[in-house]
Structure 1
Amino acid sequence: MVHRMPAERTRQHTTPVAAARRRRLRADRARQLADLLRHQILGGRFPDGVLPHEEVIGADYGATRNTVRQALGLLRAEQLVERQPGVGTVVVCQKFPHGLDRLMGLAETLHRHGRVTNEVRTISPVTAPAPVADRLRIPPRSEVLYIERLRRLDGAPLSLDLTYVPMRLGPALLDADLENTDVFRLIEEAAGQPLGTAEITLEAVNADAHSAAVLEAPRGTAVLMLERLTHLADGTPVDLEFIRFRGDRITMRGLLHRTV
């Protein structure tokens, strides 16, 4: 015999499930809308820095008012926007584009957005750690020039760069104006040939206490870590860098081509 659950008990059982599903769908839609609005913000779609009213956003994107509010809440949690009484939702954090499809220094990439300066925190010959010597193709325990720089854009901390350069190029960098000149340009002058290619790895890592303090970011916050091994035009590796970018101030962009 098949026992059937009374209709009332069935409704009591399914109602919480349906409500949870509606909440999940609303949260999904809020994330989707937040992604679209973030793209618009970073692309300069709101030049006056003020987002449209919630009702306008809802009409433009076909979203309910609750979904719009949740999406704006996600962007506020990212500290990208904030609510100002009498004004509305305003952009409070600008991100700057860093291209991944060309081999350029930070100052070359961001020159249109402000002045990039380097605070040289450390510059000294050191014994190359084994992985560094291996990547730079130099004998084990060779000396390399180690440089630690805090990069700022118009005075605001942007990245912490840890750089290893073979000592055959070191003397030219030791005597150079590293505070106002990109390492790339100095390496090309010292090597007598242009840079050619770079291998890059990009990932998100948690800021350690030292990095967080230097970048003036909360300890444990996520930062973008760019590992870059740069070669001269003849293929010789000359620059190994570990660059920690503040994720709230930089966005990575590139143009990729599909090849068969």
Structure 2
Amino acid sequence: MTETAHPRPRRTRADDARRFADLLRQQIRADEFRDRGLPSEGDLVREFGISRNAVRDGLAQLKSEGLIDRAPRIGTHVTQRKVEHGIDRLVGLKQTLREYGTVRNEVRAAMEITPPPAVARRLELAAGERVVYIERVRYLGDLPLSLDLTYLEPGVGGQLLGCDLEHNDVFALIESVCGQSLGSAELAVEAVVADAHSAANLQTPEGAALLLLERLTRLSDGKPVDLEYIRMRGDRITLRGSLFRDPSGNTTVDDTTEWEFT
């Protein structure tokens, strides 16, 4: 077999800084610096084989993201780490993050509404059926994590209006009131910018990067019950998953995977 020679790409300072920032970000996320500070600039230059200026540019990028802080005579240290949560597991935030602290919900709205046609179609509702709309800001301690807009099938949603929405996950309440487990979910994730309402609720600047997760959840019998639009702070949340390739060449998702929130 003839080998094809490919030209070696020219390495620039910006490329080195970006690759360095990606790798250091992963180490911070893995909590590798819990018991020690970040290495010095000189140590990072030697470890990553890049220039001191590229190291400084990469550290500046991580500082702008809020992951680290830098000060003269104090050095560089981690200011926050991300909290892990599975993207392909149907569990609520309160259950997933219990080891990190108390998750609470600020309920902004909980009411019956006439759904937009797009919502009615997704929930497979008949003409004229109403839905229950719930809007919440999710906190870990005093840190806002997400703004959740939830549309619920009326039979289940109506029962949830009488439940404690401030201290419980919607998923757990759905299973409790309907007597069957959740079965599956379809989801999509995309990047959006914070509108004025989202920015105010999530305590982030207007126009800041957010992750928008759209998820349609079904009961074990296949009935759609919960349509959510979850805006998550892009500087505090990482979505994580483990993928496996089966012998047929298809890619499958491990059901023990976790997401990350910070």
TM-score (norm 1): 0.88
The answer (yes or no) to whether the contact 1:121–1:149 under 8 Å persists in 2 is: yes
* 1:37 lines up with 2:24 in the alignment: yes
Closer/same/farther in 2, CA of residues 239 and 49 from structure 1, 3 Å limit: farther
Structure 2 residue 98 is the aligned partner of structure 1 residue 111: yes
Q: Deviations over 1:167-198 (max 9, x none)?
A: 11123211111111100011011111000110
Q: Is the 8 A contact 1:133 1:141 kept in 2?
A: no
Gaps of 5+ in 2: 1-8, 249-262
Q: 2:201 is matched by which residue type in structure 1?
A: V
Which 4+ residue blocks in structure 1 deviate beyond 3 angstroms?
none
What's the secondary structure of 2:134's corresponding residue?
Answer: strand
Within the candidate set 64, 68, 71, 1:81 is matched to 68
* Range with greater deviation from structure 2 (67-76 or 194-203): 67-76
Instruction: Give 1:112's aligned amino acid.
Output: E
Alignment of 1:54-93 (within 5 A): 54-93=41-80
Aligned with residue 135 of structure 2, among 148, 154, 157? 148
Aligned residues: 239
Which residue type is aligned with residue 27 of structure 1? Answer: A
Shift of 1:29: 0.7
Q: Once the 2 structures are TM-superposed, how far is the Cα of residue 240 of structure 1 from its aligned partner? A: 0.2
Identify the match of residue 188 of structure 1 among 175, 181, 184: 175
Q: Structure 1 residue 49: deviation in Å?
A: 6.7
Deviates more, 1:247-256 or 1:84-93: 84-93
- Identify the residue that residue 228 of structure 2 maps to in structure 1: 241
Closer, same or farther in 2 for the Cα pair 1:146/1:37, shift >3 Å? same
Instruction: Say which of 214, 223, 226 aligns to 2:201.
Output: 214
More helix, by proportion: 1
Alpha carbons of 1:49 and 1:240: their partners in 2 closer, same or farther (altered >3 Å)? farther
For 2:150, the equivalent position in structure 1 comes to 163
Higher RCO structure (Cα 8 Å, ≥6 apart): 2
Alpha-carbon distance in structure 2 between the residues aligned to 1:66 and 1:212: 34
How far 1:91 moved relative to its partner? 1.3
2:209 touches 2:235 (CA, 8 Å); kept in 1? no
- How much has 1:147 moved relative to structure 2? 0.1
Look up the SS of the partner of 1:199 in the other structure: strand
TM-score (norm 2): 0.87
Q: Describe the superposition over 1:127-184 as per-residue Cα deviations: whole angstroms up to 9, x where unpaired.
A: 0110111000111331100000010001111100000001111232111111111000
The answer (yes or no) to whether the contact 1:98–1:250 under 8 Å persists in 2 is no
Asked whether the 8 Å contact 1:206–1:223 carries over to 2, the reply is yes
Say what the alpha-carbon RMSD is for the aligned residues: 1.5
For structure 1, the residue ranges without an aligned partner over 5 or more in a row are: 1-20
Select 1:25's aligned residue among 6, 9, 12: 12
The SS at the match of 2:244 is coil
**In 1, are the aligned partners of 2:67 and 2:81 still within 8 Å (CA)?**
yes
Q: Percent identity?
A: 54
C-alpha distance in 1 between matches for 2:190 and 2:35:
32
